Amino acid sequence: NAGVTQTPKFQVLKTGQSMTLQCAQDMNHNSMYWYRQDPGMGLRLIYYSASEGTTDKGEVPNGYNVSRLNKREFSLRLESAAPSQTSVYFCASSELTGDNSPLHFGNGTRLTVT
Amino acid sequence: EDKVVQSPLSLVVHEGDTVTLNCSYEVTNFRSLLWYKQEKKAPTFLFMLTSSGIEKKSGRLSSILDKKELSSILNITATQTGDSAIYLCAGTNTGGFKTIFGAGTRLFVKA
């Protein structure tokens, strides 16, 4: 019963380094999402993929890129990390496209950029 | 700009108390209001509300939506230490993929 799996769980980067956060879901969901969670600000959408082969910007896309590799996998890349990207990153998926099904979240990646 | 505001930001109660968490929203083309519980890691889904005045219930938790007041409440009766968590409220819009989250209410239940 894996659900949504994210790797790594923790990561420390130096400013300017790059990395890719991996996400996979085994629920055959169509839509996948990347959020960041910062204290006092709630969850903010970075990018989403409504279905395999499509990606769109969310509320805070600057400094990030994504790839929907197949229906199961959706990765988030930081090309040149900045301290402002220190956050907890959550991947999520939903069964239906659009607005009518709840999100299923992974356990998060805690990223620190020094 | 769409927004979801939760109150209080944090709350400390004793086991057995009843608590009410508040959520107000301003979401263009509003579709639904969702509640999630976040313990140590991933938020987990509690309720989805789309119609005003219809209470959704799961054990000691219940929630209701008021579309006239653009608000929702989450009630927890007979609280237990296992209810300690951050409770997130989120609004969705029609036809889009936007889920707007509030900052959450951090609930701590003392034994």
Q: Nearest 5°: phi and psi at A106? A: -80, 180
From the CA of A85, how many Å to the nearest CA of chain B?
A: 18
Instruction: Give the best residue of B7, B49, B56, B97 to mutate against chain A (max A CB count within 10 A).
Output: B97
pLDDT in tens, B47-69: 999 999 999 999 999 999 999 99
Q: How many angstroms separate the CA of residue B34 from the nearest CA in chain A?
A: 8
Q: What pairs with residue A102 in β-bridges? A: none
Q: How confident is the model at residue A97 (pLDDT cuts 50, 70, 90)?
A: low
Strand partners, A7: A22
**CB contact B102 to A (< 8 Å):** yes
Per-residue HEC secondary structure of A3-62 comes to CEEEECCEEEECCCCCEEEEEEECCCCCEEEEEEEECCCEEEEEEEECCCCCCEECCCCC
Please, which residues have CB within 8 angstroms of residue B92's CB and are 6 or more apart in sequence? A99, A100, B27, B30, B31, B32, B33, B34, B98, B99, B100
pLDDT tens by residue, A24-76:
999 999 999 999 999 888 899 999 998 888 999 999 999 999 999 899 999 99
